[in-house]
Amino acid sequence: MRQSIISRILHAALAIGFVLAGAIPALSRTTYYIDPIAGNDGNAGTSPAAAWKTLSKVCSYSGANANSACATFAAGDSILLKAGSTFPGQIWPKAGNDGTAAAPIVVDRYGTGAKPIIGCNLGSTEPAGSAGQANGKDNGAGVLLKQVQGWEINNLEITNPNGMGGIKVFHSSTATYYRFKNLTIHNINGTGDGAGFPSSASPFAGGILFKIGDANTTRFDDVIIDGCDIHDIWWIGIQTGNWDMASDPANRFTRFVVRNTTVHDVRQLGIILRNCDNALIENCIVYNTGFARNNESFGIRLKFNTGSKIQYCEAYQNVSWDNSGEGGQGFTFDGTAVACTLQYCYSHNNLGGFMSVISDPGEISSDNVIRYNISQNDSNQTFWFGVSGAAPTNTSIHNNTIYAAASVPLTKVVACESGSNISFRNNIFYINTNATYDAVPTWDHNCFFGSNTNSPADAGKITGDPLINQPGGASVGIASAGVYKLKPGSPCINAGVAIPGNGGKDFWGNPVPVGAGTDIGAYEGTGTGAAFTPRTAPKPGSSAGGIAEIRSSAAGNLTVRGRTGRDFAVALCSIDGSCLEQFSGRAGGLVTLDIAHRPAHSYLLVVRSEACRYSQMVVLQIVRPRRMQSDGLVRAINAFSQPETY
């Protein structure tokens, strides 16, 4: 009887399913192909053999006129560009051509070879008075997603040397589901079109921009930027919102994620997320920003955010405007950043410092947490709290490790222009300069060591050697920060104060606490004698990707062979950037460096391609016997490799 009842229920469920399936029409999914060599815009575009030829089929606007040749796309469609090809123009689908999370409209590549290149040149050449020029600051982008949603853009290279944008997204209301994956966006260099740009357009320029409407009714939801390399940008690498926007709690962006992305050589800001709730920036690298020398230059910045996190990121060589403390920090929480967290990040060699927490009148940052980070040789002011007349409140800074060598131009470890209820607990300050500490309400169980004698009053402080494995020994690459683990017997082990809601783990993922109590600094454990251990045993080999092939041998020679067809220059530098040797190589030629006489140490090998700004950097460590291992990241114009040992 029971079996019969179950059988009837199953049959009924299946019958209902068939009825519903018949009532819902099947989704029509079409794949379109574009081939700039063999294609023809008169083709159907629905197979490689009948591919379209130009981007005019996916661009709804041409100059001042609507483009009637632009196709209409529907949810589930794909637009595939032939690999190894270059496509002049831009992708600008018709308004209302929406995909969904379940059936997005996807732009990707097909075939083998390099990423397809969208060679846009828009934003500064549109004629005055044209409809295109009137919104040039909005429309000049390699990919323009205007009044559409549910799109994925993957595996492309985008450049716009005379224009203002790589990818721009604009919508006047709520829009959801955008994915940008494995993109290379570079040389977005537009500087003006004679109609009031760049001064009015610069806030709209950058690698990837999500822009709000003038009525502030825009809300973006479910956005992921993943695995992108963004560099040589006129203004900002990645940004949301508008430059002069006010906080808009009613229209916050949600589910906004930036991960596994590198931003470098940017005129002003690396990454800035405005007007987000619970955004996430993780596993990102930002360096060489701010060379416009503007006081708004930061590595990674949150502004008008609530509950957002920055974690597992690296920021270095970001430049400040001057020595006022404004700009040049690796990380920043700005106006109305509330309950945000910076954790497990590595900051080094930033000209403006490690971290700033900023409020403006009527825009108070509060209840933020800065924990389990490492700062090495950040200049000027390690921490800065401001601005005058608007004090950030309730900032908790705990379990960070801060190191500064004697040669670092550090004036203040803590600069507090304004702020209330700021607490420093369980931090290590290993400072070898005469930098000072401004007064803040709470100092509790911190360690102060080095030649610095200006430590503040702290009833629970430690002034003995924290026994860091290799203070100052980290280099490029977050993995190199392993040198900041504590040795067994460190006075900082189990010496900290317990902090509720501490995140549950240290910089390296160890649980907190381990043992009888919480440690002081970014490390939690019983101590380790090992500093940084490479992933594999050192052996002769070669670098991965890049503009040059780099090989070492056990005999003590290092060879560099160019890959780009351009002349190149090679520099062997100390880890602080001082040049030791320089060489020049011809296109496709070979440069040999004798490293056998070099002492065991870490070095930077920098390769720059002549006639362009592309560069590749490898962190090398010479060990005994004469072998080399890479303990950093291999960066190049067209490659972002994992740490490699050779």
Look at residue 48 and tell me whether its pLDDT is greater than 50: yes
pLDDT tens string 200-219? 445 567 899 998 766 567 88
DSSP per residue over 286-306, as a string?
EEEE-TT--TT--SEEEEEEE
Look at residue 391 and tell me whether its pLDDT is greater than 50: yes
Q: 116: pLDDT confidence band, cut at 50, 70 and 90?
A: very high
Q: 612: pLDDT confidence band, cut at 50, 70 and 90?
A: very low
pLDDT tens string 75-106? 999 999 999 999 999 999 999 999 999 999 99
Whose CA is closest to 435, among 508, 384, 391, 507? 384
* Mean pLDDT within 220-244: 90
> Between residues 549 and 174, which one has the greater pLDDT?
174
* CATH architecture for segment(s) 548-630: Sandwich (2.60)
Look at residue 309 and tell me whether its pLDDT is greater than 60: yes
Give pLDDT, residue 126. 42
Give pLDDT, residue 184. 97
Look at residue 196 and tell me whether its pLDDT is greater than 50: no
What is the H or E stretch that residue 152 is in? strand 151-154
pLDDT tens string 513-528? 998 999 999 999 999 9
What is the H or E stretch that residue 133 is in? helix 131-134
Cα(167)–Cα(206) distance, integer angstroms: 8
Give pLDDT, residue 533. 39
* Mean pLDDT within 463-490: 96
pLDDT tens string 577-598? 556 777 777 766 777 877 766 7
Look at residue 285 and tell me whether its pLDDT is greater than 90: yes
Give pLDDT, residue 8. 46
Cα(349)–Cα(578) distance, integer angstroms: 13
Give pLDDT, residue 313. 98
Q: Worst-scoring range by mean pLDDT, 35-39, 63-67, 389-393, 403-407?
A: 63-67
Conformation bin of residue 42: beta by default, left when phi > 0, alpha when psi is -120 to 50: alpha
Instruction: Kindly report the pTM of this predicted structure.
Output: 0.78
C-alpha pair distances (Å), 186 with each of 251, 265, 299, 482, 495: 30, 10, 17, 32, 48
> Between residues 488 and 140, which one has the greater pLDDT?
488
Handedness of CA 196, 200, 201, 202 (dihedral sign): positive
Q: 547: pLDDT confidence band, cut at 50, 70 and 90?
A: low
* Mean pLDDT within 463-475: 96
Q: Name the average pLDDT for the chain.
A: 80
Cα(80)–Cα(71) distance, integer angstroms: 14
Give pLDDT, residue 579. 65
Look at residue 538 and tell me whether its pLDDT is greater than 50: no
Look at residue 644 and tell me whether its pLDDT is greater than 90: no
pLDDT tens string 341-354? 999 999 999 999 99
Give pLDDT, residue 25. 47
Look at residue 65 and tell me whether its pLDDT is greater than 80: no
DSSP per residue over 219-238, as a string?
EEEEEEEES-EEEEESSEEE
Look at residue 495 and tell me whether its pLDDT is greater than 80: yes
> Between residues 600 and 211, which one has the greater pLDDT?
211
Contact in structure between 221 and 255 (CB atoms under 8 Å): yes
CATH fold label, 34-260 = Pectate Lyase C-like (2.160.20)
* Mean pLDDT within 377-383: 94
Look at residue 7 and tell me whether its pLDDT is greater than 90: no
Contact in structure between 254 and 276 (CB atoms under 8 Å): yes
Cα(592)–Cα(179) distance, integer angstroms: 43
pLDDT tens string 290-302? 876 555 678 999 9
Cα(first)–Cα(last) distance of the chain, in Å?
Answer: 70
Q: 118: pLDDT confidence band, cut at 50, 70 and 90?
A: very high
In percent, how much of the chain has pLDDT > 70? Answer: 73
Look at residue 125 and tell me whether its pLDDT is greater than 60: no
DSSP at 351 = S
Domain boundaries, the chain: 34-260, 548-630
